[in-house]
Amino acid sequence: MKILMVLTSHDRLGDTERKTGFWLEELAAPYYAFKDAGAEITLASPKGGQPPLDPKSAEPDAQTDATRRFEADAAAKAALVATKRLDTVSHEPFDAVFYPGGHGPLWDLAEDRKSIALIEETIAAGKPVALVCHAPGVLRHVLAADGGPLVQGRSVTGFTNTEEEAVGLTAIVPFLVEDELKRNGGLFSRGADWQPYVVPDGLLITGQNPASSAPAAEALIKQLAAGA
């Protein structure tokens, strides 16, 4: 089992001086779900190299067993420092693609032509794509084989408007994940704020928030096992 994990390279919240990037738990929890299932993991990002970490995700109250394990894992940290440039990878060597969130992807991966093509080609090849928290927002320009939005008519979830309001960034993000999924015809559903909630729909798996990271990874592993 080979999994490609795609991280953001964007480090700033809009026109503010505040830092953003990927959310640590949303990398660490799936990383170990995959690793413990025997997967070979490759990390990629638009710029390659060390992707920016949202500093809030490194604060004490955001830590989990998975984040602590990651911080103590020299091999994992070495892989993070050396992510592959997204334009040098394709879906072909991999069985699935996973997108961790954080606010960064709303600025770069959502508009990145390579990322858009990667998702389209992975789905077209009959392989699953999972995205969690803000990462479902990167589907905004992704098309299905019929030329319509990939999410049109599909059951999806992602970071909710009320969760975005709770973190005070509604007026700063370039778009709201929930609104964008609905605008593109997605059949959006949600759980309670900050609680695990995952929606599998065929080859597309989406998770609502950081707490949904590990369950989304487990859903992806289950999908791969069923298709083996």
Q: With 0.75 as the threshold, say if the pTM is over it.
A: yes
Length of the chain in terms of residues written: 228
Parse the chain into domains and list their residue ranges: 2-227
Residue 206: the pLDDT is 98
Inter-residue contact 117 to 86 (CB < 8 Å): no
The CB-side HSE value for 192 (13 A sphere, CA atoms) comes to 1
Question: Which ranges in 72-176 belong to alpha helices (H)?
Answer: 74-81, 113-124, 161-166
**Which amino acid appears at position 228 of this protein?**
A
User: Distance (Å, rounded) from C-alpha 105 to C-alpha 20?
Assistant: 10
Q: What digits encode the pLDDT tens for the residues 155-198?
A: 999 999 999 999 999 999 999 999 999 999 999 999 999 999 99
The CATH classification of domain 2-227, taken from the options 3.40.50.720, 3.40.50.880, 1.10.357.10, 3.40.50.300: 3.40.50.880
Q: What digits encode the pLDDT tens for the residues 24-33?
A: 999 999 999 9
**Which amino acid appears at position 186 of this protein?**
G
Would you say the C-alpha torsion 153, 154, 159, 162 has a positive or negative sign?
Answer: positive
- Distance (Å) of CA 137 to CA 50, 108, 118: 22, 11, 15
Inter-residue contact 8 to 43 (CB < 8 Å): no
* Tokens encoding 208: 């609502």
Inter-residue contact 115 to 4 (CB < 8 Å): no
Q: What digits encode the pLDDT tens for the residues 94-108?
A: 999 999 999 999 999
